[in-house]
Each structure stands twice: as C-alpha cells, then as structure tokens.
Structure 1
C-alpha cells in the first residue's frame, strides 16, 4: 500500500480524533470538577508540598490551562501545540504521582476532582501514563500526516 493511501489517511484521522476527544473530555472534566468544588480544590492545594503563596496562582492557572488545552485540541490549526501541552501537563502530573509513590512527601494529598479523586496512587499512575501515551501517539500521528497541496 502506498503511503498516501486514502484508507490509511482516514484511519489515522479517526485515531487522532479519538485521541483528541479523550483528552478534551479529560481536561474539561478535570477543570469543571475543580471549579464545582473550588473551596475543596483550594484546600487541597494548600495541603500540597508547595508553598501556600503558590496556591492562588495554581488554583486559577491549572483549570484555565486545562480548558485552553481542550479548546486547542478542537481546532486543526492548534491541535499539535495542544497535544504537546497535553503531553507536558500529563508528564508533570505523572512525575508528581511517581514522587508520591516513592514517598517523597510526608503526606499524600490529592487535588484531583470528581471520580479521579477516588483512584489509588498506582491507579493514578496508570491513568496518567495512558494519557501521556495517547498524547504522544497523537503527536506522532499528526506529524506523520501527509501534507496536501493547497488548491488555488
């Protein structure tokens, strides 16, 4: 099969759409969960092993960043940067989860929202690694898309 086979192109496009949709759902769910339980989220942030003066910055920037990434994933022109942002954010969450599993902190706070809060830390790790993996797969698939000539 030649590399520009329309079937392969459509299959790649569908997989990219599924990846983007899963990430959009994740980030919108996470941000809305934080805003719906905003006082709890602030309290959780104050219990993190970070200085409390960072709390106001974190409680606003993380949910806003999650929404911006979700919006970026919707549009074709911003999808690749949004996939990279998704990868970086999920890597940061994964590194934090690994630090918790390695007992790097005196206590184990969780600032996740909604049902994600109910995961154990090993489950968090696998959950995060799944989204790291699909973010990376989305980047690879988008980068390997054939470039079509623009018709004049």
Structure 2
C-alpha cells in the first residue's frame, strides 16, 4: 500500500517559496492597512498629532523630530511592504516600529509616566492602554512572522539559483 506522504513532501519542497511568499504577503497586507491608516491620520490631522506628541513623556528635543519622522517612517514602511524586492526590509522596519510602539504602550499601560494621551490616531482612539498594548503585541508578532517568511523565501530562492 502506497502512502501519500512522499507526494505531499515533494509538493511542499517544490512549492515552499510560493507558500512562504503568500504568507509574507498576507502579513504585509495586514501591516500596510495598519500603517497606512495611522500615517494618514497623522498627516491629515497633523496639528492634533503635534499637540498630542507635545504631551508625551519624551525628551523635549525629540518631539519636533518625531512629529515628522513617524509619519515618514510609516509611509516608507508601507511603500517597502508593497514590493516583493523590498518586502523583507519593510517587514524588518515594521517589526522594529511595532516593537517600539508595543514597549511604549506597555509603559503607558503600567502608568510608568502617569496618565498619557495616545498620539496614534483614530485607530486607537477608543482603546485603553491595555488593549493598545495587546493590539501592538499581536501586530509585532505578525511583522516578525512576516519577516521570517519573507527572509526564508528569499534565502531558499537564492539557494535554488545556486543549484
């Protein structure tokens, strides 16, 4: 009696980069949706975002820089996530941004700074810091997993080209 296992194994080996790419694209799409919304909100309501950033417990010299740097970083990440050749970099940057936002949300949740206003935009408007932390943690995981899939696919493709 023949088993189907060898056929499945052969199929997955042959098409593994396709599956990895599809999973990376899914993760990228989730992050594109998130970063595009938050970045657009920061641009459209820039004055509100600037006021909210002014209330953050950050060094005063960093606030004017972050008011412009954060939307630029988020739009850059969206752009990088859109294209297969730059997706690995986009997912890496998304992971770093989401990890930073998660740490900040956790510190706000445990009230290390006291009561802090969220400057993230309308996506998080109705969330408390606890929900915000868990939301960010989940999206950090999505970014990290997406990075892994995209990186693994890229290394498998380069390995296949050498063979």
Q: What's the TM-score once normalised by structure 2's chain length?
A: 0.85
CA contact (8 A) 2:98 2:140 kept: yes
Whether 2:25 is the aligned partner of 1:13: answer no
Whether 2:158 is the aligned partner of 1:149: answer no
CA–CA separation in structure 1 for the residues paired with 2:60 and 2:45: 19
Task: After TM superposition, give the deviation of residue 67 of structure 1 in Å.
Answer: 0.2
Aligned alpha-carbon RMSD (Å): 1.6
CA–CA separation in structure 2 for the residues paired with 1:75 and 1:25: 15
Unpaired segments ≥5 residues, structure 2: 1-8
Unpaired segments ≥5 residues, structure 1: none
CA distances 1:59-102 after superposition (whole Å, capped 9, x unpaired): 10000100000100111121111111100000100000111122
CA distances 1:90-117 after superposition (whole Å, capped 9, x unpaired): 0100000111122210222210111322
CA–CA separation in structure 2 for the residues paired with 1:54 and 1:126: 26
Larger Rg: 2
CA contact (8 A) 2:38 2:123 kept: no
Q: What's the TM-score once normalised by structure 1's chain length?
A: 0.90
Task: After TM superposition, give the deviation of residue 42 of structure 1 in Å.
Answer: 0.6
Give the paired residue count.
149
Whether 2:88 is the aligned partner of 1:80: answer yes
